A and B are shown apart, each in its own frame.
Chain A
Amino acid sequence: MNDQLVSMITQLVMEKMEKSTGSQAPEIAATSTEQPLIKFYDKVENRSSGTTEATATSQEPLIQLYQHGAPQEVTTFASTTFNQPVNDAVPIKPFQFEEESLTESVQAAKKHTPARIGVGRAGTRPKTKTWLKFRLDHAAAVDAVYGEVSEDLLQKLDVFQVTTKVTDKEEYITRPDLGRRLSEESKALIQQKCKPQPKVQIIISNGLSASAIEENVQDVYLALQQSLSNLNIDIGTTFYIDKGRVALMDEIGELLQAEVIVYLIGERPGLVSAESMSAYLCYKPRIGTVEAERMVISNIHKGGIPPLEAGAYLGTVVEKILHYQASGVELVAKEG
């Protein structure tokens, strides 16, 4: 990360804020009005409750997450079924996951990472609450696999939708080959709607997590478009793919003869976040392109690489790819 990037991000933030005061600001409306609008460097996500605490310290370095304390809040099972009154005599309490007392050292260490540290032990085994929390988070991640991106979002992004040869979810996970090929109708649709031979073709797919797209794609897309436009790099016609695999970019690159493809795709849900998105980049992806020619920026989500920053960064990566006319291992080699 360099100063130039910082200033670019700052500019993006300013533009976004201007936009939102002028209009209804649909992309920001989703966040709480109590929160500062854009506060992505110095906030800590309490991943159990999803609330955030923002503390302004503008001197902090660019990527320096988790340096402020997570609010010591009580975590509850969110499911409403647990909260339905069954018996008036027995009030149902939210389940408490937090251990009562953490030493100062542990509290300080936990500020630096979302990893499950300072958890103590029962003999050599985890404590009951730690174990239950882990199981709950895994359950949530399992339930978050798949999912569809809303029509609403696609409209906001102003993109059309295409499909792969995959027919259902089970087939998506067991037949990656089908997720790497477009359906015949989609090929025709893409050829009909898209600008041919684009400098940069942006494509989006739910992949293994629709919520990753729901949460991040607007900011990343906005920042990426802005960044490319500042660099005078021409963008093709963006579209959305239901149930795509990474290597699908090869067929699309071939079809449109794109110079660079930027592919935003939902990652397999993790325990810390089911909302993590990846951006894959490749110079002239064509059928037969090898994995080592692709590049990826992963962990794009509010607890990882913040979406706006990722979008701006992607712009600079595209610039580099175009400059060297290479991506992946070949780019590393050419860079010297």
Chain B
Amino acid sequence: MNLSVIFGGEKYNFKSLKDVMAKANEEKSGDQLAGIAAETVQQRIAAKAVLSELLVKDIRENPLVPQENDEVSRIIEGDINEQIYGEIKNWSIEQLREYILSNDTGDRELKRLSKGMNSEIIAAVTKLMSNLDLVHAANKVEILSTCNITIGQKGTLSSRLQPNHPTDNIDGIIASLKEGLSYGIGDAVIGINPVDDSVESVKKVLTATKEFINDWSIPTQNCVLAHITTQMKAIKQGAPADMIFQSIAGTEIANRSFGISADLIREAEELIKKQGTGTGPNLFYFETGQGSELSAEAHMGIDQVTLESRNYGFARHFNPYIVNTVVGFIGPEYLYNNKQVIRAGLEDHFMGKMHGIPMGVDICYTNHIKADQNDVEDLSVLLTAAGVNFIIAAPMGDDVMLNYQSMSFHDVATLLQTFGKKPAPEYLAWLEKMGIYENGRLSARAGDLSIFER
């Protein structure tokens, strides 16, 4: 494995694969915080050049996190198809990039390729992709998933309706829910982040949302994003949950800091299959985001793009219904500004799709990061062009519980209309029946929450 290059008249030596992978990343404050980022712009490009000549097998044969120490590594390794890997193991990362971008490579080829790559290989090629490469390549892939309804079809853009409330007040949650539905939001999931992570509170919100969904025969699914153990207790006590949510990370230690393990997720899988209200087969909702491993001091000197990719390797093992990166939420110490958030959003979406998972994005920002609503609007256009499965929407993009801004109900409707996309087919049929959509777009009555009054 050659880790040196003469580039632009200068000699560059990299210490290890880990070092090349980190320095080949586009600039991220999180990699700088970890002390592993490229020191100059030229060094960054030199690292990309070295990486482009490494072979696929160099990356698999030199694991950044050895399997002996880490169950995430074991799970990723265990899911690789050796036949397909054998076909690509002698390719350079340069060849891999050009294969992905080739006009002869489409949905079927990329899905096949996906089975032969581990998360580090996918991260490596991502570092050689420009933003438009990431948009273009991700858009080739169509990943369908089914809980109660099926989402992800080409030409669709689904959304999670996020009617959070600062005290989990049910009337308040339902008020925002009605508003969102009246804009045609919510085919991916109606998902609430609770303030109160208690079993009682989770049961209350699951029951209220499920009753509303049943009352109005809405073809969608519900979820309350409490800790997995709390949701499991609520389900055991009879609460109606269509899927189980959990935040995940890319190393075993970071997962432990979230209070989870693969065994716990397997246990949840058994439970949701037996006691859940969702049809399936896809019954998990996972959230990720660059920087969480560093935040938990469990990054092992590995860059945040590679660690994020490992989230998707872990996630795909459990056949999730939806996965989304919460791209601007973590804060400026990991993604400093609009440029870094936009890059991370495109990387995460692409890496998710290359893993074959139904990838969405919470396109968002906090008030202490150097970004504003215009920046997330920009990213939403890019991700819609990239064929993102779903995005998250809150009233006017302002989440009154989590204190951050995401996309608005208006934004989802605007993206659909601008790009000529549609909500998921079963949901669209319901929207038309309710008079919220007409001729494939918002009706005159849309946006009026009194539609949901009898």
Contact = CB atoms under 8 A, between A and B. Distances in A.
Contact of A115 (B33, B167, B175, B447): B175
Interface in B180-203: 183, 195
Contact of B166 (A64, A118, A176, A303): A303
Contacts of B229: 329, 332-333
A113 B296 CA distance: 34
Interface stretch (A9-17, A198-206, A264-272): A264-272
Given A125-B410, A173-B332, A270 B176 contact: no
B163 interface: yes
Interface string A109-137: 11011111111110111100010001101
B367 interface: yes
B318 interface: no
A113 B401 CA distance: 10
A232 interface: no
B408 interface: yes
B353 interface: no
A175 interface: yes
A144 B403 CA distance: 13
A114 B172 CA distance: 8
Contacts of B373: 134-135, 138
Interface in B314-363: 331-333, 336
B21 to A, nearest CB: 22
Nearest to B168: A63
A298 interface: yes
Interface in A244-262: none
Nearest to A145: B368
B169 A113 contact: yes
Interface of B: 29, 32-33, 163-167, 169, 171-176, 178-179, 183, 195, 227, 229-230, 233, 256-259, 295-296, 331-333, 336, 366-368, 372-373, 394-405, 408, 410, 413-414, 417, 442, 446-450, 453
Given A64-B169, A105-B450, A117 B367 contact: no
* Majority DSSP secondary structure for residues of B touching A: mixed
A137 B373 CA distance: 12
Contacts of B256: 290, 292
Contact of A112 (B169, B404, B413): B169
A69 B375 CA distance: 34
A174 interface: yes
B405 A291 contact: no
Interface string A267-308: 111111100100000000000001110000011000111000
Contacts of B176: 113, 115, 117
Nearest to A103: B450
B257 A291 contact: yes
10 contacts: A106-B448, A106-B450, A113-B172, A135-B373, A176-B333, A177-B33, A268-B368, A292-B259, A299-B195, A304-B166
Contact of B368 (A105, A112, A130, A173): A173
Interface centre among A121, A134, A145, A177 (most CB of B within 10 A): A121
Contact of A63 (B167, B401, B405): B167
Contacts of B413: 121, 124
A109 B410 contact: no
B367 A134 contact: no
A59 to B, nearest CB: 17
A300 to B, nearest CB: 10
B169 A291 contact: no
Given A117-B449, A176-B333, A292-B257, A134 B175 contact: no
Contacts of B403: 267-273, 276
Contacts of A65: 166-167, 169
Contacts of B447: 120-121
Residue of B408, B442, B453 most packed against chain A (CB within 10 A): B408
Given A173-B332, A174-B333, A268 B367 contact: yes
Contacts of B453: 105
B410 A126 contact: yes
A332 B446 CA distance: 43
Contact of B165 (A115, A120, A137, A269): A115
Given A65-B167, A176-B33, 12 more contacts: A125-B414, A134-B398, A138-B367, A142-B367, A208-B368, A268-B403, A271-B398, A271-B400, A290-B296, A299-B166, A299-B401, A332-B230
A66 interface: yes
B185 to A, nearest CB: 12
Contact of B336 (A121, A123, A174): A174
A174 B332 contact: yes
Given A124-B413, A174-B33, A116 B395 contact: yes
A105 B169 contact: no
A273 B167 CA distance: 14
A271 B405 contact: yes
Contacts of B179: 109, 115, 117-118
A196 interface: no
Contacts of A105: 448-450, 453
A106 to B, nearest CB: 7
Contacts of A303: 166
Contacts of A124: 410, 413-414, 417, 442
A118 to B, nearest CB: 7
B313 to A, nearest CB: 22
Contacts of B414: 123-125
